[in-house]
Chains A and B, each alone.
Chain A
């Protein structure tokens, strides 16, 4: 059996922790963008416009039916081409290389944004119609109505779904290792292969992911208490 001392765990601690940091940064950035995509998607789905509705439905249907790994591979490679095609169309000189970091974030955001669209749509639909009509009767603009009524009323409904998506996102970051992006899982694979202590390294990475997800649970429980303040206790 491999022993702890000879496993090379100590030498790899630094790289693995910086991989974990990359994973966290990537997850947070993708989540923020995903939240925006989700809000836009939900607004589009609930809007009167046929075209917007169709666009948003197509987005959520396709993204939710295709495996994440497959989407990540397709979007990762096509993103680069699409960007260059766009720049060419805009008649900007030269080609640009998107960094792997930005591409990974964009891909994860697009994937989780589709799930968040559905969560926000459901949460907005659960707001009593009268509240929204009352806001209109007060003469609030659409922005005021969104910020003062819809957002605070929808958040308690959406929060458990949002925390699920965050946990899924943290775990899905491991998938971008497949396109060669160096985050926690990729670094762990390198460490395991070079030291041949596969068991110890994968277990260690598991502990790190578990710490991330369990800390997130504590955080989301706090947020839930905050957004539910003013609601009668259950």
Chain B
């Protein structure tokens, strides 16, 4: 095992950039994906028929195909069709649409939306009907019921499962190295190419990932413990 390359500031710079990009991908697609998940869950539960079918379809296709395929579908498939749209090269959005980073975020957002959407949908269905009826009896509007009663209780029910989804997202991030986004794996690959070391950089980032998973798990456990409404005894309610 040769880790002398770690003293080289250039390689450390790569790793740091890779780490930051990994975190950006995780946070941005996590937040956007969560919003999409709620949208997909709601569309299926109480949306009009066509919207419910659309949400059902998106969820089925995303959960039934490999993430790597989805990444290449968006990046190579959709991305290469875009220049054929007239005038798109002059638009402000064009630099973003050419950036592989954007396709990473797009793919992960859709993926989190579909997987977490199913989790949230199941949790929303298991919120006792009486609570929603009581909220309606209080004269709350539909929107108010949603964000005051329905969603908070649903999230409380599925929080441990959502933790699992966040960790799955973290572990999906290295896929973007296949479309040349500078994440931790890509940084390790550059170091491997330049130093001819086969394993050391890979093992180092494997260690970093283990540490990140642990921190994330502990952090989410703290969130679970302090989530309002969770009864102190037993840890998880219901």
B-contacting residues of A (Cβ < 8 Å)?
1, 62, 65-71, 73-74, 77-78, 167, 171-175, 177-178, 185, 188-189, 192, 196, 198-199, 201-203, 205-206, 209-210, 213-214
Contact = CB atoms under 8 A, between A and B. Distances in A.
A222 B198 CA distance: 46
A177 B80 contact: no
Interface stretch (B135-143, B144-152, B168-176, B219-227): B168-176
Nearest to B80: A198
A78 B199 CA distance: 8
Contacts of B210: 62, 65-66
A202 B69 contact: yes
Given A62-B210, A69-B185, A199-B77, A174 B203 contact: no
B175 A69 contact: yes
B58 interface: no
Contacts, number: 98
Interface string B79-90: 011001000000
A77 B172 CA distance: 20
B68 A202 contact: no
Most buried by A among B61, B63, B174, B199: B174
Secondary structure type dominating chain B contacts: helix
Contacts of B76: 192, 198, 202
Contacts of B80: 196, 198-199
Interface in B33-79: 60-61, 63-70, 72-73, 76-78
Contacts of B68: 174-175, 177-178, 185
B205 interface: yes
Interface size class of B (residues with CB under 8 A): 35 or more
Nearest to A170: B66
Contacts of A192: 72, 76-77
A213 to B, nearest CB: 4
B69 A74 contact: no
Nearest to A200: B77
A214 B210 CA distance: 33
Most buried by A among B81, B171, B203, B210: B171
A67 B66 contact: no
6 contacts: A1-B81, A67-B173, A74-B203, A189-B72, A201-B77, A214-B60
Given A185-B66, A209-B64, A199 B78 contact: yes
A77 B198 contact: yes
B21 interface: no
Contacts of A78: 199
B65 A206 contact: yes
Contact of B77 (A67, A203, A210): A203
Contacts of B177: 69
Contacts of A202: 69, 72-73, 76-77
B213 interface: yes
A70 B72 contact: no
Nearest to A199: B77
A181 B165 CA distance: 28
A213 B64 contact: yes
Nearest to A171: B66
B66 A70 contact: no
B178 interface: yes
Given A70-B185, A172-B66, A175-B68, A206 B73 contact: yes
B215 to A, nearest CB: 11
Contacts of A173: 66
B73 A67 contact: no
A177 B68 CA distance: 10
A50 to B, nearest CB: 22
Given A65-B209, A65-B214, A74 B173 contact: no
A172 B68 CA distance: 9
Contacts of B172: 67
